[in-house]
Amino acid sequence: MKNIVILISGGGSNMAAIVRCAQRDAWAEKYGAQIACVISNKADAKGLVFAREQGIATEVLDHKAFATREEFDASLAALIDRYDSLAAPALVVLAGFMRILTPAFTAKFAGRMTNIHPSLLPAFPGLHTHQRAIYAGCKFAGVTVHMVTAELDHGPILAQAVVPVLPDDTADALAARVLTQEHVIYPRAVASLLSA
């Protein structure tokens, strides 16, 4: 069985979309894959409640308990490794995990770690993407699913979806429109990796 480990920091709406898709489309039978664990760096992350309700194992690893980013990432890697097997190493899915990962961590999970970013990369890496797109006068914005590399919000693009930027858009309104697309393309991108 291929284990999928999802990392979150908050509400986990993309994680929930992936879980629902896995259930609806029978990933266990179709791909031999299961959502094995949801890990958060915040104990109060609302997404953990949803995961537990689905019978998925959850773990909390508070980044504030570590003196350095390297120590946190080493402990996080060890935690993910508990869901690994030699036959099918875990796929690590970042779904609103608000931590910048160290090069050692990204190297360890290279080729099997995905992220979703609310812009049409390579445009607007980093934070405040929707407001930046509006300020820049963009006619279109969107979302990108990509493989994770050591460079923030880079790596091979797996999927993108485009939404229009409307004349009276606010960052919140644009974010809400983009989020609906995130929930469509992230489960699809993960499924496509599992079927490869």
Q: Decide if 156 contacts 196 (C-beta within 8 A).
A: no
CA–CA gap between residue 90 and residue 92 (Å, rounded): 6
Of 117, 130, 146, 183, the active-site residue reads 117
Q: Annotated catalytic, 117?
A: yes
Would you list the DSSP string of 41-110?
A: SSTT-HHHHHHHHTT-EEEE--GGGSSSHHHHHHHHHHHHHTT--SSSPPEEEESS---PPPHHHHHHTT
For 43, 124, 133, 154, 170, the CA distances from 10, given in Å and listed in that order, are 9, 22, 24, 22, 22
DSSP class per residue in 146-181: EE--SSTT-S-EEEEEEEEPPTT--HHHHHHHHHHH
Positions marked active-site? 117
